Structure 1
Amino acid sequence: MTEARGGLLHACSAFNSIYFDYDPRLRRYVRDPDPDCFATVSVGGRLPVLPAGTFVRLTRGSRELWGEVAAVLGAAADVDEDGWTGAGRSGAPAEADQDRQRVIIDTDIFGPLSVSESIERGRWLRPGGGLENGQLLGPVPSSWGDISARDQIGSFAAYLAGPARALLDLGPLPGWLASDSTKVSDADIARSIRTAVECLAQIMTTAPGLRTWGLYARPAADAVSFSTSNTFQEVRRAACRPAPGNRARYSALWPLLDALVRGGEHGGGLTGVAGAALAIDANLALADATTGRQLPDGIDLRVDDLWQHGGIWRAQRLPVNDVLRELDPLTPAGIGFTESRESRTGVLLPPSPSAGSSKAKCGASRVTVVHIDDELIVLSVAVSQADLSAGRLRLTRAVLDLLPPGDLILQLHHGGSPHSDHGAEQHVRRHEDAVQAINWPTAIPPGLHLTVAAARAGRRLVATSLRLANPLDVAGFGTVSWQFDEALFCLGTGLDTPQGTQQSWQPWAPLVTRGPWRPAVAALEHLIVEALKRDGDRGLADSRQLDGRRLTAALFGPNVRSAALLWTIIHTCEDMTVLGLLTQSPGHSGGPDVFTWWPSTPEAKEAKAAAEWGADDAGPPLSRRWIRPQRRRLPPEQRPSLKAQLDYAQWRVEVEGINADTKLPPGTTFVHGHLKGSGPGKPWHRHVPHELEGNSGNG
């Protein structure tokens, strides 16, 4: 499929290929979509919203040419030929009518062109024709609602659910979602499309013979071939060159590659789908060089932006600060955009090793970066007695530089009860590497562990303590009910290390966020639980529930309206549902799914069990990213394959023994147990509860 489409496949285009029957042998869609639903682009006209996967009509009077958007990249104007770009462009939001974008159109997607279509394409491709080098260049248009132009999946879903809704009638999706009692809303369809495209993006990452970068896939052989070329050696030399004075340099790949290609033997620059494919190859080769430590000595190289100019890479001389040291180099964190807002120096300077060691000796608070991406920061902080007495919370200077300038709001929750929010909303001031003027609750132990999260676009810090499963009685201090750092506790109280059941505490390992989707962030789990207990709607058995949008607002404030952050919260809640920490149910009147927290009372356990184990073949969740084997309902016209029936029978015998009912119920098929994104074929027994393993046929 990827090779048939010019060697480049976006996840949105993969959805089109499956839904609208693209035939790789014929190199065209088998059925012709209704062109009245296409986005129209006129010569010299203003660009409409054109996410990847959009079907377009290029019109010139009565003549027109069809195509599909193969790639969309930022195209900031103030970039040098060698790729140099100002830090402020790297990771900056796509501002409507202020930023520029490059939309690459594939005009071969509907099969061989007729003579008149070939002539028309020639008119478009000539200098000044509107599609020079196969690209539409123009301002970023206003998108739908809260969706950013950077969010290609969200824009594509809104496009198909809105102006191109009639295209979906060519396939089964509206029928699958429809029911006799309710009308399918645009929001339901958009959510379904987004989920389908994200699933395809995951499948692409594990497909044999493919390499993926962001939402784009390339044949692995082509990517390897580029990594051994002279062009890549030039790209690596340019991208690994830092700015003078230990300042970071930002290199945009498209203009850099374009200059190199123009200077080569072909001299045509980057053109159309092939140009976009070359940009993906360059990113993949730089990623391999980074992870394989094939960089010049003393250089830190990392990707900082996936959207602008096909990728912006950041080079700096070592050492780097604590935030960058903990951050995976292939996580695009948009550091350049936050650096540019700092009027002091515009850079994140590395910390002084001697200062750090002296602080450790006197029992300073310990700060660990748990997760960071271009939308979210999560820290773990063990608060020292000195900082408790001074009303201070240390976050490190580098972390504070990633947040908007000015005062912040600390939302502090300590006590584990929805009715015990002492000091929940506090206005705090920055001072060096900390925020201060905090009114700490009384009688909290030195070394208290806090999980602190912040949306990078907002001013709210959310800090929550972690309750111990078994409180400790400490002679000379009293009962300690929250997790704490034992060394800081002893330094702050002068007491011996408390003996008890507290487990040695370790922060979550930093999460590698290389996927094109927004992954779950395990460190947010107890923050989500506390937000549900605090702000959730009351349900059965004193449970608390919120949908993803309201939960995001409860955590980070109502003014943070980021689709990317919303999906991080939703995906984390979905993983918590797999683990049994929450339950998930459809929203009212077709609204978004609702997540529910249940207290540990017998009444709540019974109500939760009824909500969670309604299906006959459901089983307890055991693994964070494990999808249990399950029956799935089929559309009315489909029947399960013979293999699905045989696999289902084997599964039932494996779980319940030889007397199990092995016949699939009518209208259903069998889905293997598997890890998310890995496909079927994993071990059978991952889902089996321990009490059943001894009774199963092969236990």
Structure 2
Amino acid sequence: MTPTTRPDAVAQRQLAPPVPEQGRSAAARPWRPYADGPLLTPAMALGPEHVPPGQMQAMRRYLGALVAIRNTPVHVNVAFNACYFGYDLTTGYAGAAMDPASFPTVALGQTIDALPVGALINVASGGDPIWAEVVYKEGAHPSLEDDGAVPSWLSGAPAGATGPAQTELHSQPVLHERLVLDLDVFGLAPTAAQIARLTRRGRFDEFGHLLVGSRYATVELAELDDTGFYRHYLLSAGRDLLFNTAAPTPLPLLLTEDAGPEHHQAALEGLFATVTAALRELDTVRIWQSYAVSRAGLSARLRSGDALGADDIASLASATARSALPDQSRRLGAARQVTYTALGSRLRCVNGSAIPMHGAGYANTVLHANLIFADYLRGDAEDGLLFDRVHLRLDDSWQGGGIWRAEAPGSAHALLDPTIPRGFGWAETLAPPAPPAAVEPPTPEPEPEDELAVSDSQISWTVALRAEHIDTGVLALPRPAAHMLVGDRRDGTCMRLLLNHDGHQLDVTDATQMATADLHGSPAVLSGVSWPMDFFPGILLTVTWPRNTATLRITSTLLDMPVTIDDELDIEHCYDPRIVTRDALDRTSGASATLAQRVLRAVRRLGLLEPDGVARLARDHLAQQVYGSSTEQTERAIDVVVAQLRERGTLTQVTGSRTAGGIAFPAVAGQPVVPLLCYTPTVVAGPTRPRRFTRLDARFVGTHAVTGFLRRIEHLGHSASPHARAAYREYRARHGLAGPAELPEGWTFVRPHERGS
């Protein structure tokens, strides 16, 4: 029996020791908006790898102080807001030059245009305005039970799902969402008595939150992650705020004057990547999904004996795992059981939870609990199992504060990372695909017998790495090679793997590994391999076994010229085009993929496959593969997306035949014809290029180390000079910025300049 520990014990070990506060020089002081120069710099628009160390250190220093001082979790979007809109660590946005009158008004229970985490809003109070920042949100589907019970189909369900394998197609889906707010972000938080009164009047729910129907403009937007949706929001509904002169560094000022909308989008992605990297590099925080919480706050919870402290959450983690065990029997032959628990709903049931779960405390508690669950698994699960039988994993990170899936006895998913949500609940309600035999994914690897090279001293072969090999940490062996290893008595033994990535220096822990030989399985494998991050699905590896040794040498081979496939995947090493089509392109999880991505994925993964990676799928099979059923509604939705993909040239349509053996291409004379959707990979040879809309062309980055910015001078008893007022008007007009036409009183404008000048 696997020894068990308290579920909170591993979380305790994850906490960094407290660091004593020391006196800080001015250089080590966190950024002060509108007093110091801008924190965001042109280099940050290119991404974190282009940022000078001193600038990255300044951002980390500020974000570390931000997480420590706020009583809310800090999502990447919220961290971006702080850097971009100038959150003062003492007064919040109270001293910022932004205009809250432009914020959207939100009322409890209403259907609104969907808002992202990070949105600045005005809460409809019936009286004085209440300005707030959305710091956390989650799905609040009506099918979530108060005790945390969840119907399995809801876990990982796409927008528009109404039941097991059932979806209603809406051009503008409306999702039930819980918005958690920071009401003190402008230094004007209502008192506890005022919030209680507003709750009685129906302005907040019992937890001080807003439950709303969120209307998304398209299904694709509803399925974006939080950061992707916020970037879209800032470039659309929030554009005036993003391009406002009130921001310490409006986006256009980071770029050259000829930068267009596509460069704004790329620059925004670069800024988000930089902020994300800085948050993740902080040793004073823990990260759950895209939220940062302080280690000190988590430590305080783990030391607490109050409601929702260490004992309560440890008990809940254990109970959630044990929910999959039979009530009466512990025998090995017990039937498989799977349970789903929404963590947010379940936490609200704990005795004494009303106060700690109120307001932003709800978000802190939910995120802490998820981290404690994850640490419990890392510390106590052996081969992915708790109590030798239960596999516990996060299945949906958004709905109900996170839906956790417990399965016993055992699980086919036990070796997958349990903190990556995969939406098995929804996926298992879909009917398994049943296409004709010719449409079934063939095994793309070459026949091992054809590839085995045998000499007196060694055996070598070439294998293409599959996605499942990377995910499960195995090296598949050709049967002839497995037979020879069996003859050398290697079955069940540990073998040393010496990995070489041609043209690259691997980390020592990647370059030399130990793996266990399972030579009688189907297929025969070496298990326990931790494939290097740069090894992608489809990469061709040459494996060499010097006879009579316990060592395998595994190496990749550089291409003569790098290639880029579909402007999505940069490849420098020899690869199998078939597996790249099947496994490597668009590995977005099913829960977050758009309809267009799911259509393209179905063609790639289920189509008739050619050696060059071309895939063809019968058009009349598409709805079944994407939705699990073919109805008038699903066919209509598929038609729209297929037309768009054909118009863009992503898919083409050709004619094949339906024969007794399945789909055939080219068409066979005398056989019924069938339209086929054809995916052809676009392969461009040459040096790797920046990906479209993900990396900004450096030619469009501003040349000034310090961009123009506003500085507060009212407290100094000064006023702006006519020269500064004229410079402000010129910059506002030249860059097409929103905001006041004239420089606000109490502020001046600092022209762009080089640091130190």
Percent sequence identity is 23
Q: Cα deviation per residue 1:46-70 (whole Å; 9 max; x = unaligned)?
A: 2221110001122356753211101
Task: Decide which of 145, 151, 166 is 1:80's aligned counterpart.
Answer: 145
Equivalence for 2:276: 201
Q: Does 1:172 align with 2:259?
A: no
Q: Does 1:227 align with 2:239?
A: no
Task: Decide which of 448, 472, 479 is 1:488's aligned counterpart.
Answer: 479
User: Which SS does the other structure have where 2:447 is aligned?
Assistant: coil
TM-score of the superposition, structure 2-length normalised?
Answer: 0.50
Q: Does 1:636 align with 2:704?
A: yes
Deviation at 1:19, TM superposition (A): 0.9
Please give the alpha-carbon distance, in whole angstroms, between the structure 2 residues aligned to 1:560 and 1:314. Answer: 20
Q: Does 1:257 align with 2:371?
A: no
Deviation at 1:21, TM superposition (A): 1.1
Q: 1:176 to 1:120 in 2, by over 3 A?
A: same
Deviation at 1:328, TM superposition (A): 1.5
Q: Partner letter of residue 157 of structure 2? A: A
Task: Decide which of 548, 551, 565 is 2:568's aligned counterpart.
Answer: 548
Equivalence for 2:221: 147
Equivalence for 2:422: 333
Task: Decide which of 194, 213, 218 is 2:288's aligned counterpart.
Answer: 213
Q: Partner letter of residue 445 of structure 1? A: E
Q: 1:502 to 1:18 in 2, by over 3 A?
A: closer
Question: Does the CA-based 8 Å contact 2:110-2:212 persist in structure 1?
Answer: no
Q: Cα deviation per residue 1:372-404 (whole Å; 9 max; x = unaligned)?
A: xxxxxxxxxxxxxxxxxxxxxxxxxxxxxxxxx
Deviation at 1:85, TM superposition (A): 1.1
Equivalence for 2:177: 101
Deviation at 1:273, TM superposition (A): 0.7
Deviation at 1:38, TM superposition (A): 2.1
Q: 1:248 to 1:598 in 2, by over 3 A?
A: same
Please give the alpha-carbon distance, in whole angstroms, between the structure 2 residues aligned to 1:409 and 1:507. Answer: 33
Deviation at 1:633, TM superposition (A): 7.3
1:215-294 to 2 correspondence within 5 Å?
Answer: 215-228=290-303, 229-243=310-324, 244=326, 245-260=335-350, 263-264=351-352, 267-268=354-355, 270-293=357-380
Q: Cα deviation per residue 1:550-569 (whole Å; 9 max; x = unaligned)?
A: 99997689999989669x9x
Gaps of 5+ in 1: 343-404, 411-425, 429-434, 449-467, 513-519, 528-539, 569-594, 613-629, 640-666, 670-699
Please give the alpha-carbon distance, in whole angstroms, between the structure 1 residues aligned to 2:562 and 2:75. Answer: 45
Q: Does 1:308 align with 2:399?
A: yes
Deviation at 1:86, TM superposition (A): 1.7
When the two chains are superposed, the root-mean-square deviation of aligned CA atoms in Å is: 5.0
Task: Decide which of 415, 426, 434 is 1:407's aligned counterpart.
Answer: 434
Deviation at 1:126, TM superposition (A): 2.7
1:428-467 to 2 correspondence within 5 Å?
Answer: 428=440, 444-446=446-448
Please give the alpha-carbon distance, in whole angstroms, between the structure 1 residues aligned to 2:586 and 2:378. Answer: 38
Q: Partner letter of residue 188 of structure 2? A: P
User: Which SS does the other structure have where 1:336 is aligned?
Assistant: helix
Question: Does the CA-based 8 Å contact 1:474-1:480 persist in structure 2?
Answer: no
Q: 1:427 to 1:168 in 2, by over 3 A?
A: same
Question: Does the CA-based 8 Å contact 1:68-1:105 persist in structure 2?
Answer: yes
Please give the alpha-carbon distance, in whole angstroms, between the structure 2 residues aligned to 1:329 and 1:511. Answer: 18
Gaps of 5+ in 2: 1-65, 161-171, 304-309, 327-334, 465-474, 489-497, 501-514, 516-524, 541-559, 572-578, 598-680, 691-697, 708-752
Please give the alpha-carbon distance, in whole angstroms, between the structure 1 residues aligned to 2:463 and 2:235. Answer: 47
Equivalence for 2:74: 9
Question: Does the CA-based 8 Å contact 2:148-2:344 persist in structure 1?
Answer: yes
Q: Partner letter of residue 434 of structure 2? A: D
Q: Does 1:70 align with 2:135?
A: yes
Q: 1:177 to 1:247 in 2, by over 3 A?
A: same
Q: 1:33 to 1:65 in 2, by over 3 A?
A: same
Please give the alpha-carbon distance, in whole angstroms, between the structure 2 residues aligned to 1:55 and 1:511. Answer: 43
Task: Decide which of 94, 118, 122 is 1:57's aligned counterpart.
Answer: 122
1:268-667 to 2 correspondence within 5 Å?
Answer: 268=355, 270-293=357-380, 296=387, 298-321=389-412, 324-341=413-430, 405-407=432-434, 426-428=438-440, 444-446=446-448, 472=453, 487-489=478-480, 509=529, 522-524=535-537, 526=539, 546-548=566-568, 608=687, 635-636=703-704, 638=706
Deviates more, 1:555-564 or 1:65-74: 555-564
User: Which SS does the other structure have where 1:240 is aligned?
Assistant: helix
Q: 1:231 to 1:491 in 2, by over 3 A?
A: closer
Deviation at 1:408, TM superposition (A): 5.2
User: Which SS does the other structure have where 1:319 is aligned?
Assistant: coil
Q: 1:140 to 1:492 in 2, by over 3 A?
A: farther
Equivalence for 1:385: none
Equivalence for 1:90: 155
Equivalence for 1:345: none
Q: Does 1:111 align with 2:184?
A: no
Equivalence for 1:622: none
Please give the alpha-carbon distance, in whole angstroms, between the structure 2 residues aligned to 1:56 and 1:331. Answer: 31
Please give the alpha-carbon distance, in whole angstroms, between the structure 2 residues aligned to 1:6 and 1:439. Answer: 53
Please give the alpha-carbon distance, in whole angstroms, between the structure 2 residues aligned to 1:293 and 1:242. Answer: 17
Please give the alpha-carbon distance, in whole angstroms, between the structure 2 residues aligned to 1:325 and 1:81. Answer: 29
Please give the alpha-carbon distance, in whole angstroms, between the structure 2 residues aligned to 1:302 and 1:103. Answer: 25
Q: Cα deviation per residue 1:272-311 (whole Å; 9 max; x = unaligned)?
A: 2111100111111111111111754533222222111111
Question: Does the CA-based 8 Å contact 2:145-2:345 persist in structure 1?
Answer: yes
Question: Does the CA-based 8 Å contact 1:631-1:668 persist in structure 2?
Answer: no
Deviates more, 1:66-75 or 1:43-52: 43-52
Q: 1:256 to 1:142 in 2, by over 3 A?
A: same
Q: 1:544 to 1:487 in 2, by over 3 A?
A: closer
Please give the alpha-carbon distance, in whole angstroms, between the structure 1 residues aligned to 2:588 and 2:190. Answer: 50
Please give the alpha-carbon distance, in whole angstroms, between the structure 1 residues aligned to 2:280 and 2:436. Answer: 39
TM-score of the superposition, structure 1-length normalised?
Answer: 0.54
Please give the alpha-carbon distance, in whole angstroms, between the structure 1 residues aligned to 2:183 and 2:234. Answer: 20
Deviation at 1:8, TM superposition (A): 1.4
Deviates more, 1:310-319 or 1:26-35: 26-35
Equivalence for 1:423: none
User: Which SS does the other structure have where 2:414 is aligned?
Assistant: helix
Please give the alpha-carbon distance, in whole angstroms, between the structure 2 residues aligned to 1:274 and 1:502. Answer: 48
Q: Cα deviation per residue 1:149-180 (whole Å; 9 max; x = unaligned)?
A: 55110111011111111212324353345434
Question: Does the CA-based 8 Å contact 2:107-2:124 persist in structure 1?
Answer: yes
Question: Does the CA-based 8 Å contact 2:348-2:354 persist in structure 1?
Answer: no
Please give the alpha-carbon distance, in whole angstroms, between the structure 1 residues aligned to 2:263 and 2:700. Answer: 20
Please give the alpha-carbon distance, in whole angstroms, between the structure 1 residues aligned to 2:375 and 2:289. Answer: 15
Q: Partner letter of residue 421 of structure 2? A: P
Deviation at 1:129, TM superposition (A): 2.3
